Structure 1
Amino acid sequence: PSDLAYGERGNHGIKPNSALIFDVELVRVGKAAEEEK
């Protein structure tokens, strides 16, 4: 929803109330670091 992004104010090249869609690529998966005790 636009209210979670730039809302009515927009931003450089992004019109007000625009829905933003991101295309991401997962390039690596690793194990999480162990918590320190």
Structure 2
Amino acid sequence: MRKGFAIAKETGEIKAANRKLKAAKKLDKELNIKSLQQ
């Protein structure tokens, strides 16, 4: 039971990290486009 909870917690943290990474990449892309347009 406890092991399953730990795995679920890890999976949730990995998903959150991946979401942050995707958001950061998207932001970088938008900033690059803006700097190219100037």
Larger helix proportion, structure 1 or 2?
Answer: 2
TM-score interval for Structure 1 and Structure 2 normalised by the shorter chain: under 0.3
Higher RCO, Cα 8 Å, sep 6+: 1
The structure number with the bigger radius of gyration is: 1
